[in-house]
Amino acid sequence: MRTTRHLTALLLAAALVPSPALAAGAPCYRGVNLSGGEYGERGGTYGTNYTYPSEETIGYFAEKGMTIIRLPFRWERLQPALGGRLDEDELQRIKDTIGLIRKRGMAVLLDPHNFGYYDKTQVGTAPATDAAFGDFWARLAVEFANQEGIVFGLMNEPHDIKATDWLDAANAAIRSIRAVGARNLILVPGTAWSGAASWEKDVIGGANGAVMLGVRDPLDFYAYEVHQYLDADSSGTHPTCEGADAAVEAIAGVTAWLKRNHKRGFLGEFGASADKDCMSGLTEIYATMTGNGDVWLGWSYWAAGDWWPANEPFNVQPRKGPARPQMRLLAQSAKADAGTCSAVKPVGN
């Protein structure tokens, strides 16, 4: 599957000198997305229209060596009115789930899985203004401020919003998080679905790779979250992997960008079927991130969850019988990296 272009990109990533500030160790974030909390409409009934992962599911992935769970949920359920209080019942469900995950020693990446929207209103436009987005993050950050193993992912896959406008919204959220005293690690996506393959392309309102260098965090304790699938159009909706070479090159390209700009990255979503080309591409992506732990904080595979159908090609949810090939590869990669990890803490801690 290797191509000349792909090899050139990998060599470029390896040749660039890492920033000394980022070379203190390879953080140990190796995990999966446990979906279910983002299902259904905002008024859905818990246990009928949406769910959170069971203790059994959480335990399975802990036993497989995973060290982080990306936990999707709906912003509208957690904050039913913009500028208003968080819903106590929904917040408690999230807290209970976090408790189960932390009990098994894994970190949690909180993921408002809204694609840059509140209901059908794009972030940055009334009433879902940058101030409203910042208010949401201030309220959520207060609940989990400085708790060990809690990471804040600002938003899942913003799209159809100019990069410059998204930067303003992201910076508003970061200001709010830090204003309430929360020193948690923050993951910042770009626009255009935060795709790795398009990171340095001007998809809408400027390239993420240029515009998102404008992220401002007084603690400098953030990383960029990118996503990348291996099918032909990078959508993660097809069982075959005609785009595997391009996906591997995309991760190598982002690796080079991170090194060049002395930044950190996290691969928040990626996934593929057990097809031969898919597995080969996944193996190469793991190798690139493992070999560049100075800039990659880790990854979380998409996906698993108690309600995922058994016939979903990307699914690694445990079922009767042996673990799926993708899960075996995830576990092998996590085990290989386990002895080289260090805690992720703000500068000065």
Q: Torsions phi, psi of 331, nearest 5?
A: -65, -40
**Cβ contact 194:227 at 8 Å:** yes
Pairing mode of beta strands 68-73, 341-342: unpaired
The one catalytic residue among 38, 76, 269, 284: 269
Q: Among positive and negative, which fits the CA dihedral 198, 72, 130, 134?
A: negative
**Whole-number Å distance between alpha carbons of 143 and 181:** 11
Q: What is the CB-side half-sphere exposure of residue 61 using CA atoms within 13 A?
A: 34
Distance of CA 231 to the CA centre of its chain: 19
Q: Please say if 269 is a catalytic residue.
A: yes
Q: Which of 164, 110, 113 is nearest to 139 (CA)?
A: 110
Which segments of the chain does DSSP mark as H helices, in order?
4-15, 55-63, 75-78, 88-103, 130-144, 163-179, 208-211, 244-261, 276-290, 325-337
The one catalytic residue among 157, 225, 249, 284: 157
Residues that are catalytic: 157, 269
